[in-house]
Amino acid sequence: MIHPYTNYFTVSFFEYVIRYKRFNILSFKANKTIIYVLVFFPIFEEVVYRFFIFKYCSVLGFSGIQAMIFATLCFEFSHIYYLGFKAINKLFFSFIQSMLFLVFQSLLLIICLHIIFNLYVYLHKKDMYKVIF
């Protein structure tokens, strides 16, 4: 049975979409860069920086905390390359993700968190510059 508030939310969302036309799914299909940033890059980064680096560190005999710090630093340095020192705020995000991967050993969880984070940043930047979907 569907909760009544769920139905209300769904109707309200579609009314908002129809009335204000702020959410256009075709704009996501038209702009490949958005798809790369929201889907492809998080998957690629998490496979490289969490899965492969953690496995490589375990082969070399690093402890979990050493692997977590190494993966965080690799993630951070790769973002500093193209963002400069504005990427320092990603250090905390990467450390949390490494910690969660160490605890849960779930790559899917980490990928979903990264996608949600990138979506939040994308929507926040869109809102900052007052650009409509």
Q: What is the pLDDT of residues 26-67, one digit of tens each?
A: 555 556 777 788 889 999 999 999 999 999 999 999 999 999
The whole-number pLDDT of residue 26 equals 54
pTM greater than 0.75 = no
Looking at the predicted structure, is the pLDDT value of residue 5 above 60? no
- Work out the mean pLDDT of the chain and round it to a whole number: 79
Instruction: Give the span between the Cα atoms of 51 and 31, in whole angstroms.
Output: 29
Among candidate residues 50, 109, 55, 104, the one with its CA nearest the CA of residue 75: 50
The residue ranges of every structural domain in the chain are 31-128
Q: Hey, how many other C-beta atoms are within 10 angstroms of the C-beta on 62? A: 16
* Mean pLDDT to the nearest integer, 105-129: 85
DSSP structure class, residue 31:
-
